[in-house]
Amino acid sequence: MSPTAVRLSRKTGTSAVLAAGTDIVLQIGQDLGATNTDEAQRVKVKIQRIKIKWISGTAATFTPSMFSETGAALADIEQEYLGALTAVAAIFDATNIQGYCYTDLRGRLYLRPTPNAGADNIFKYQVYYEVCF
């Protein structure tokens, strides 16, 4: 039996300066009324769409991924999604992902753009997801 989704939600923003292994923290637990990280909890989500656009920096390409734990390695069990290599002139837009996963214990998912060079890259992002019960 499939879980019942609460509603479609979206996290958007512009990242701080990022190097290859830097995560963007998505506070999913706030959708359930958590007002700080101490109140958050593990949340089941269905990732629907991930959009990322490189804004500035020295990278020539990036490869987006999503993790359920901060600092997780590529191809580790905490990797929830791996996107395609994308040139910085293009927008990465993965639709209809339909992937279920859980956040960490603080109600967070971690988006990692993974630029191929530099520690000065900035990205705009939108992640669409459903919180599930």
- Name the residue ranges covered by the structural domains of the chain: 5-132
In this predicted model, which residue has the larger pLDDT, 81 or 6? 81
Q: What is the pLDDT of residue 3?
A: 57
pLDDT in tens, 66-82: 999 999 998 999 999 99
Tell the burial category of 84 from Cβ atoms under 10 Å away from its Cβ (0-12, 13-18, 19+): exposed
pLDDT in tens, 85-96: 999 999 999 998
What is the CATH number assigned to the segment(s) 5-132? 2.60.120
In this predicted model, which residue has the larger pLDDT, 6 or 16? 16
User: Which tokens in the block code for residue 66?
Assistant: 């999503």
Q: What is the pLDDT of residue 4?
A: 63
